[in-house]
Structure 1
Amino acid sequence: MNLDRQQLEAFACILDEGGFERAAQHLHLSQSAISQRLRTLEQTLGCALLIRTSPPQPTAAGHTLLRHIRQLRLMEAAVADQLRPAPGRNISLSVAVNADSLATWFLPGVQPACARQGLLLEVMLDDENYTHSWLQRGEVSGCITALATPLAGGVAEPLGMMEYACVATRSFAAQWFPHGLQGLCWQQAPAICFNRKDSLHAHFIEQHFGVLAAQFPRHLLPSPEAFLSAIRLGLGYGFVPVMQLPNLAHEAELVELTPTQRQRVMLYWQHWRLEPEAAQRLSQAVMAAGQQVLVQLPHTTH
């Protein structure tokens, strides 16, 4: 089956731009021309590719085709660069990253590769338990995830463990945990969570109090900066990446609630087994950085 490249680009542009009108403006076409190209492509493939919502969303078949288009773009860019190298040529890659990795080690880790290879990143921010869905839908070329099982056609490379310390101000700890972590203090003490997907507190409560905690008082602050600010202000207790603690050491008011029992989350870099050269270079940079700064599992000998 020969797929028309203009039709493919029209389909991808509708999703990239968030609608038919903006896609038409981007491609310098009329809306009717964009609609016709999509309609013809759907007739050729014999299936619907878009859900006509606002913004439009890809169907299951649309996700598969979108992944193909994005891989095709990367491969064409790599071939063009080999045949006709151009100084300053940039290649765009989309990745899904959890907030704590983005706020700590991810950008310093990939900066040399981006600068050296001319890589431009579009980062999709999500919880590490959900980033793999971006890869599964074909919207990114790789993701930092807690999922150890590789997706079909993909690879899950172990990066290491992100270690977290449970911290609060001294005054907050004295008010809400005057006798340490016991009793039902978790039912009243407000927590600071990143969003509703943040599961560290539920694991913490289960570990220390032996109960499953579906509900507990919490502030939801989907920003690493606001998250830390809320803890400093005494609004609640929260889990901070241990690698951030040296920067907080001068703040004598912050204390660890469980200094001998830190939370750890194993992270993986999931990417496609067959990926263009630019994506390979990014994968190598992410894996090298993660394995350098994250807590590594001890090697076992047999």
Structure 2
Amino acid sequence: MKIPAELAITLAVVVREGSLEAAARALHVTQSAVSQRLATLERLTGQVLLVRARPVRATSAGDVVIRYARQVEQLDADAASALGLSDSDAARLPIAVNADSLATWLLAPLARVSRSRGFLLDLHREDESHTAALLADGTVVAAVTTRATPVPGCTVTTLGRMTYRAVASPAFAERWLSRDAGPAGLATALAHAPIVDFDARDTLQTRWLESRGVDPAAPPRHRVPSSAEFASAIALGLGWGMLPAAQRRGLDLVALGEPELAVTLHWQQWRLHSDHLDALASEVAAAASTALDQ
């Protein structure tokens, strides 16, 4: 049994759009046609592929079909480009990216390749330690990740390291982290000084506290889930946090001491011959070679 590409792509669009109605608009067909395609696909595979929730989501079997659909879409787009065929529906590349890379160095190379090759970007922002999961389940075709081991069916290229330092505004440091009492006094102060975390998955501040012998459960924590606003919150004295050099630049901040924490980033993409993907990987690697520590 072969999975009909049109049916697989319909499932992928339904999951991407979040509902059958939205998918019907995107595919320029009726909602009934979308429903019939899904029913046919589930009958052919003999498995439930879609959880009818709000928004809809794929089952584990559905993830397999969606991965296949996205591979077909990339191959179709590459073939059309090579043949010089015009297509009103530009190829779409779903990519998982971490917030700090997106805010500092990654958006420029993505934009350059998108403009030159005429495809659309569909960026999924996720913590760098979790982006590989989106690659594994077929949500994206490429990802910036901390995972060095290739996801099955993918290639991996090391990009470099983002190095973070613990920083705070001068006024915050003066109020909360006076060094008059020496290292022991600073450790006590850190147990009470507010922290700024990006979100619940952000462990950089926790790792730094642990390296200083401070219980990470002790301090109060703010959450600011936007990279630019995260840096601004620290500069405004909301709390202290870990920032890479590019985000510290131009802000009035003081360093809180060692250690620096380095996060090694990798580019993973499907092992699929695609001119779009290959061009994107090349541009990202070139940008990383100058923006990241090697």
User: Residue 18 of structure 2 contacts residue 56 of structure 2 at CA under 8 Å; is this kept in 1?
Assistant: yes
Q: CA deviation at 1:92?
A: 1.9
Paired with 1:233 and 1:59, the residues of 2 have a C-alpha distance of 44
Residue in 1 that maps onto 2:111: 111
Is 1:140 the counterpart of 2:143? The answer is no
State the aligned residue count: 290
User: Residue 162 of structure 1 contacts residue 267 of structure 1 at CA under 8 Å; is this kept in 2?
Assistant: yes
Residue in 2 that maps onto 1:288: 286
User: Residue 91 of structure 1 contacts residue 278 of structure 1 at CA under 8 Å; is this kept in 2?
Assistant: no
Paired with 1:163 and 1:292, the residues of 2 have a C-alpha distance of 14
Paired with 2:224 and 2:6, the residues of 1 have a C-alpha distance of 42
Residues 53-79 of structure 1, C-alpha deviations (whole Å, 9 max, x = no match)? 111111111111101111101111111
Distance 1:12 1:280, change over 3 A: same
5 Å matches for 1:203-282? Answer: 203-209=207-213, 211=215, 213-214=216-217, 216-248=219-251, 251=252, 254-258=253-257, 260-282=258-280
Paired with 2:10 and 2:246, the residues of 1 have a C-alpha distance of 44
Distance 1:154 1:87, change over 3 A: closer
Paired with 2:161 and 2:7, the residues of 1 have a C-alpha distance of 43
- Farther-moved stretch of structure 1 (58-67 vs 182-191): 182-191
Paired with 1:160 and 1:178, the residues of 2 have a C-alpha distance of 35
- Segments of structure 2 that go 5 or more residues without pairing to the other structure are none
Residue in 1 that maps onto 2:156: 156
User: Residue 50 of structure 1 contacts residue 56 of structure 1 at CA under 8 Å; is this kept in 2?
Assistant: yes
Residues 134-184 of structure 1, C-alpha deviations (whole Å, 9 max, x = no match)? 111111111111111111111221111101121111121122111265333
TM-score, normalization by structure 2: 0.91
- Farther-moved stretch of structure 1 (16-25 vs 263-272): 16-25
Residue in 2 that maps onto 1:81: 81
User: Residue 164 of structure 1 contacts residue 239 of structure 1 at CA under 8 Å; is this kept in 2?
Assistant: yes
TM-score, normalization by structure 1: 0.89
Residue in 2 that maps onto 1:187: 191
SS in 2 for 1:29: coil
Residues 201-256 of structure 1, C-alpha deviations (whole Å, 9 max, x = no match)? 11101111165x356411100112221221121110011111233332xx3xx211
Paired with 1:61 and 1:100, the residues of 2 have a C-alpha distance of 33
Paired with 2:286 and 2:28, the residues of 1 have a C-alpha distance of 42
Q: CA deviation at 1:33?
A: 2.7
Paired with 1:275 and 1:95, the residues of 2 have a C-alpha distance of 17
Letter matched to residue 4 of structure 1: P
- Segments of structure 1 that go 5 or more residues without pairing to the other structure are 297-302
SS in 1 for 2:32: helix
User: Residue 168 of structure 1 contacts residue 236 of structure 1 at CA under 8 Å; is this kept in 2?
Assistant: yes
Distance 1:88 1:5, change over 3 A: closer
Is 1:198 the counterpart of 2:198? The answer is no
SS in 2 for 1:110: helix
Letter matched to residue 188 of structure 1: H
Residue in 2 that maps onto 1:299: none
Distance 1:117 1:89, change over 3 A: farther
SS in 1 for 2:249: helix
Letter matched to residue 157 of structure 2: E
User: Residue 88 of structure 1 contacts residue 118 of structure 1 at CA under 8 Å; is this kept in 2?
Assistant: no
RMSD between superposed Cα atoms in Å: 2.0
Letter matched to residue 271 of structure 1: Q
Residue in 1 that maps onto 2:49: 49
Distance 1:80 1:109, change over 3 A: closer
Q: CA deviation at 1:21?
A: 1.8
Paired with 2:22 and 2:218, the residues of 1 have a C-alpha distance of 42
Letter matched to residue 62 of structure 2: G
User: Residue 163 of structure 2 contacts residue 260 of structure 2 at CA under 8 Å; is this kept in 1?
Assistant: yes
Letter matched to residue 224 of structure 1: S
Same amino acid, percent of matched pairs: 38
Distance 1:36 1:145, change over 3 A: same
Distance 1:89 1:22, change over 3 A: closer
Residue in 2 that maps onto 1:36: 36
SS in 2 for 1:3: coil
Paired with 1:35 and 1:108, the residues of 2 have a C-alpha distance of 39
Residue in 2 that maps onto 1:300: none
